[in-house]
Structure 1
Amino acid sequence: MRYQWPINNINFEKISEKIAEFFKNKNFSTKIIIHENEAIILAIPNVNTEIQEEIAVKLEKREKSLTVNFSSAEEKEKRIKIGMLLTFLFGGTLLLKELKAKEKIDALQEEFWGHVQKLLANYNVM
């Protein structure tokens, strides 16, 4: 999912650290990669993390805005579709597992967007 905010002169290091801190509080290990006009925050799940899927957040600086893109593995949707097809053979256990995992990622993503909204609303205060 991707959102855009009208912000000029963004400090990628500061914003990236705040986003990484969000994932660290959720028991992920993080890695930040900063380039000239973009930053990527990788959130890698630890062994006892509830979500077992790597998440990537990409920040892109444009002329007068900031774009934030949250992406988890795109394979999850494919596995759910395959699980739906295999439901008749295996009684839906694969599908149920994938749907529960997707539900957890969706909840994390919703919480993430609330965090980013507050972070960017207070950006001028940082």
Structure 2
Amino acid sequence: MFEATITSKGDDKYHATTRHSQFELASDGSASKPGDALLASLCACLGHYVGDFLKQEKIAFSEYSVRADSDLTQDQSRLADIRVAIEVPGARWNDAAKSAMLKFIRKCYIYGTLTANSPIHLSVVASPK
């Protein structure tokens, strides 16, 4: 199970707590914006599978990076056209290996969630004082 909670004092700053860590988000740019955090989550998940693929296929690497970027739609209601670039400095790729890795990393559940348009159920709950 995954879980996250944010708390806010009503400003543009949000204190996020997950099962294993805490971090700050802010829509005013003083910390990572929520859209950046979403892209970082996607990169981390894809990166896990990139690492697994490189090890499984015995592709030598000292490090790799996964970078994602996106813009908001014109009406600012969602991210549009998320672009992801995977870089493995010094790796020798042929088209078959690239294709195999792209297929393999689609196992990432964040990627799967975003591409499946998973429903999100919103509710407002009463809180005791």
TM-score for both structures, normalised by structure 1: 0.37
Structure richer in helix, relative to its length = 1
Asked which structure has the greater CA Rg, the reply is 2
* Greater RCO (CA < 8 Å, at least 6 residues apart): 1
TM-score for both structures, normalised by structure 2: 0.36
